[in-house]
Every structure is written in C-alpha cells, then in structure tokens.
Structure 1
Amino acid sequence: MSVSYILDSASILSSESQSNIPLVDLSKPDSRHLIVKACEEFGFFKVVNHGVPPEFISEIESQALSFFSLPMSDKEKAGPADPFGYGNKNIGANGDVGSVEYLLLKTDHSFNFHKLLQTPEKFRSALKDYISAVRKMACEILELMADGLKIQQRNALSKLLMDEQSDSVFRLNYYPPCPMLDEASVNGGEGSRIGFGEHTDPQIISVLRSNNTSGLQISTRDGSWISVPPDHTSYFINVGDSLQVMTNGRFRSVRHRVLLANNNWRPRVSMIYFGGPPLSEKIIPLPSLVKGKEESLYEEFTWFEYKSSAYSSRLSDNRLELFQRIAAS
C-alpha cells in the first residue's frame, strides 16, 4: 500500500497523549541498565550529557539551513540521490513520498562532498567534526549496552562502527514550513502532512537530533503512536533492525514517522547518523545472548544482503520478516 500524503486527525488521535520517553543521562553509573530497559520496552530513548559540543551542532545545522535555503535549481545540482546526494519528496525508488528534502551522505573520507555545496570545504569540515562526535557517542552507548547485557567483549557492537569499512551514513532532513494545505482544508482543515512515512531503520543504531520543531512519533508495542516532544539540546536513539537480530529479538527496532501539523510555519530540520557495519559483516545473534536450547530467531545474512533487501522494499514493510527463522515474540 502506498504512503498517503495527507493523514486525517482521527488517524493520529492516539499520538496526542505523549508518553514518558525513556531518558538516559550518559554521565550516570546506572545508564547501562536504563539503556537496556529502554531498548527492551521502547527500542528508543533520549540521551542527555551526550558530549557533542554545541558549536558542532550549531555549525552543521547552519550549513544544512544554508543549503536547503538555496534555489531549487542550485539544490538539484547535488542530485538526484543515487542514493547519495540531494532528494526531494521521493523516498527511495519504490513509490514512497513525503514532504521532505534531504541530503544523504557517506561518512567515510573518500566520499566526494564537493558537488554538494558552494562552500564545500566549510561543509566538509562541519561534517567531519559533527560525525566524529556523534559516532563517538554512538560507540559509547553501544558499549554501555554491552555492559548492561553482560557481553564479555565490551566492543562487540561498537567495533563495527569504528571499522574502516563501516557502512555508516549521515542524513540531513528538511521539512518545509507547513501552512494550511488545500487538501486538508477540503477535509475541514484537520489534515496533517506526512513528512516521512512509518518505517524501522535497518542499521544497528540511529542517532537523531532535530531543531525545536515537533513532528517525530514512535509506535509502542501495542501499536499506538505517541509524539516525541522536541528537544534541540538532546539526542534520541533508535534501535535498528540489525541490533534486533544481534540481540536475538531482545531489543526491538522501533517504528517511527514524521507528521507535520498543517498550520506549522516553522521548518523542521533533523540530522541522523546511521551506524552500520561493514558490508561483509554477518548479522547473527551474539553467542552470549543465545543460551542453552534457545535458537536463533533469524537466518544468517550479511549486512550487504539485508541492506539490498531493505532498500528494494517499501518503507512500511517488515523487512526482517524474510529472514525470520521462527516467529519473533
């Protein structure tokens, strides 16, 4: 089923009551236990005292806003996304659309940034500083997860992001201001615009930050949607599909989406670091998390195989279903 561009108010009613999003202070000694609990119950949590310098955050946001403020003809010089580069409305190659402009970038030093901005050196410098800081935070979180799961090799997860062949990517999303839509007005003015349709992230971990504009929602275990209050000083962490497999279903990747109110005159800018393993890495449950007669819930596959499958599917598809050995519970 294709992603609808307009969603009426009845379909998002359950999202209006905000739940208590798990909060983890990375400076506290109990953070490892709180991370595990959040990953088991939500697949999602908020972190404070994350260590990313505020000047790195403000600079990358400034660069993003400068780019997305350019005339369309200039932005299109950085596209079309293949999958890297500039994209507008079309999300992937399978018919999904949203009210979003984006830049998708590789995080390795060999990637050609020069075509993306009129001031590529400044942009590259901002990217280097920012990505280095969020990758460090992501690795710290993965090592705290390992501690909380009592995995003997503390870097069992983080080493995949630090590997020179790590297939990590960085995405800048820009959701334009959203005045009253004609389509929504026809329906009584109650419509909301889909910025990014519901999906899970295929990688190991996602590190998200946005400006102080609402829109992000996550799906809870009972299938209801809850709004995530914006906080431009903090980060939000998503469990990805690969981490769900590596924990043998103990952690669950979180379904999420972006919905934009039809009377919002402020743009929403988000930046996401997707921590991925090397393409040749086998994605299987960690041995210490499969105990006794317990079986792996998933067939063995490489990240390349899963990535290829995920990117040929629709956003809302259950991408792990093809690799399940027995029903995950």
Structure 2
Amino acid sequence: MRIPTIDLSMHRSELSKHVVKACEEYGFFKVVNHSVPKNVILRMEEESAEFFAKPSSEKCQVGPATPFGYGCRNIGLNGDMGNLEYLLLHTNPLSIFEGSKTIANDANKFSCAVNDYIKAAREVAAEILDLVAEGLCVPDKFSLSKLITDFNSDSVFRINHYPPLKQKNQLSKHNNIGFGEHSDPQILTILRSNNVSGLQIYNRNGFWIPVTSDPNAFFVIVGDSLQVSF
C-alpha cells in the first residue's frame, strides 16, 4: 500500500481535496514541502539528544511525568515497551521556558530551540486543519485551527528516545521497543521521524502497513477528536 503524500506546494483548491481524501480513507498521510526550516529541526534535535545523553539520575529530576516532564516506564503489552524514554511538555512558550530550567544546562538555548520548532510545526498543523475545513465546506474555515493556535490550548509536545538494544537481533515480545497498538485522542498528531524505521499503520482492510521513515517530511495522524467531529 502506498502512503498518501500531501505536497503543500500544490494549488490550494486541489490540495484541500487531497487532504480530505487522505483523512477519510487512511487517517494518515505524509506531508512534504512543508514550511519548517531544517535548521529549526536540527536545533531541536540537538537539544533533545543532549538531554537524553545525561545520566539517569539527572534526567529523573525532571520527572516523573505528571503528566509533563521526563518519563521512562512500561505501561503494558499494548503501550510503551522496553527502554523508551520521553519528555512531555506543554506547548505554551512560558511553560516551556519554566520547564527548561530543570531540563537543560542552558534554559534559554533549550527553550528557544523547542519553541521555534513548536511554532513552525503548529503552523503546519493549522494549515492542514484549514485545508480540512475548506474541503468539507465548513462555514468558518478557521474553526479547527483556532483550537490549536491559542497558546493556552491543550496541545502537547512529546520527544521520544529509544536507546539502542543491548543485544541486537534477539527481539522477543518481551523486549520490543516502542508503542503498541493505539489511536491518538487529540485532533492531529504531527510526527517527525529520523532514519529509524518501525512505524506501522492499521488500514481499513485489517492489515498493518509499514511506513518508510523520511526525515525530510512530517507524518500526520488523524486523532480521535477530529474523526468523531465529522
């Protein structure tokens, strides 16, 4: 199965039709020619890598995630498994800065990198939601994007880190690393992957389809909240 690809440089009228079709038929698609600068992505990833490279004792001072902060735990066979670490942050810029004081050695550097990334990714998400509204002929085409453009929205930013396996090629159901089967409760998930594979989506025919990683693109997942709205 070929994953739908949305080229944001396409003509607007055609673009909205393609976005709606991808949402309806797949609930998942890849976005290319987006507006997020590479240097913004690189700075965020560098800051993230620096945090996860810290000793466990230092990282644990940022947790436990309740819900925001550092987490490293298993939540059952259908959830996080293995040595997955994550950092969950609210997307409010002031919240990011306050959290940065315990996350990074240089709070200003970390918060600027993360806030710049969130701002750019939020613009991509807002554009996609506007296209959905246009394609569905919603009277107020900004009605969906308004839900995420407010700094006080409940949007969150999550950074996942998967440490290398100690024993390669010896995977079992007890030491697989990653997320198990799940759906996302929010409106949209804007997902960036690096060159590590493993992502799969479940199609309407009942098959799990592997998704080829693409560090130059974003993957968009339609969340439960958007699905039930229409």
Partner residue in 2 for 1:217? 200
* 1:217-263 deviation line (CA, Å, top 9, x unaligned): 1111122111110000100000001001111xxxxxxxxxxxxxxxx
Aligned partner of 1:66 among 40, 44, 50:
50
Structural RMSD (CA) = 2.1
Q: Structure 1 residues 148, 192: CA separation in 2 closer, same or farther (over 3 Å shift)? A: farther
1:156 and 1:25, CA in 2 relative to 1: closer, same or farther beyond 3 A?
A: same
**2:110 partner letter:** F
Contact 2:78/2:180, CA 8 A, preserved across alignment: no
Q: Distance in 2 between matches of 1:97 and 1:23?
A: 28
What residue in structure 2 maps to residue 103 of structure 1? 87
Q: Confirm or deny that 1:236 pairs with 2:223.
A: no
1:161 match = 148
Question: Which structure has more helix as a fraction of its residues?
Answer: 2
Distance 1:132 1:110 in 2: 13
In structure 2, the residue matched to 1:143 is 130
**1:151, CA displacement in angstroms?**
1.2
Distance in structure 2 (CA, Å) of the matches to 1:96 and 1:28: 37
Alignment-derived partner of residue 205 in structure 1: 188
CA displacement 1:41-60 (0-9 Å, x = unmatched): 11000000110011000010
Shift >3 Å, 4+ stretches: 94-97, 179-184
The 5-angstrom pairing of residues 47-126 of structure 1 reads 47-91=31-75, 96-99=79-82, 100-111=84-95, 112-113=98-99, 114-126=101-113
| CA–CA distance in structure 2, aligned partners of residues 171 and 241 of structure 1 | 18
Distance 1:134 1:182 in 2: 35
- Equivalent-residue separation in structure 1 for 2:42 and 2:67 (angstroms): 26
What SS does the corresponding residue of 1:115 show, helix, strand or coil?
helix
Report how far residue 163 of structure 1 moved.
2.4
Mapping for residues 161-310 of structure 1, pairs under 5 Å: 161-180=148-167, 184=171, 193-247=176-230
Q: Secondary structure at the match of 1:195?
A: coil
Cα displacement string for residues 83-104 of structure 1 (whole angstroms, at most 9, x for unaligned residues): 1100013349x99441310000
Shift of 1:77: 1.2
| Paired residues of 2:8 and 2:34 also in contact (CA < 8 A) | yes
For 1:50, the aligned partner's letter is H
Match of 1:35 in 2: 19
Q: 2:2 aligns with which of 4, 20, 33?
A: 20
Aligned-partner Cα distance in 2 for 1:182–1:239: 33
Between 83-92 and 73-82, report the one with greater CA deviation: 83-92
Letter in 1 for 2:49: L
Note closer, same or farther for the CA distance 1:192–1:23 as it changes in structure 2 (3 Å cut). Answer: farther
The Cα shift of 1:180 comes to 3.3
Could you tell me which runs of 5 or more consecutive residues in structure 1 were left unpaired when the two chains were aligned: 1-18, 248-329
**Runs of 5+ in structure 2 lacking a partner?**
none
CA displacement 1:292-315 (0-9 Å, x = unmatched): xxxxxxxxxxxxxxxxxxxxxxxx
* Number of the residue aligned with 2:139: 152
The letter for the 1-side match of 2:178 is G
2:201 aligned counterpart, secondary structure? strand
Q: Residue 75 of structure 1: CA displacement? A: 1.0
Q: Which has the higher strand share?
A: 1
Which structure has the larger Rg over C-alpha atoms?
1
**Could you report, residue by residue, the CA deviation over 1:19-47 in whole angstroms, capped at 9, with x for unpaired residues?**
20000001102221111111111100000
TM superposition score normalised by structure 2: 0.91
Q: 8 Å contact 2:81–2:175 — kept in the other structure?
A: no
2:73 counterpart SS class: strand
Identity of aligned residues (%): 49
Which range moved further: 158-167 or 62-71? Answer: 158-167
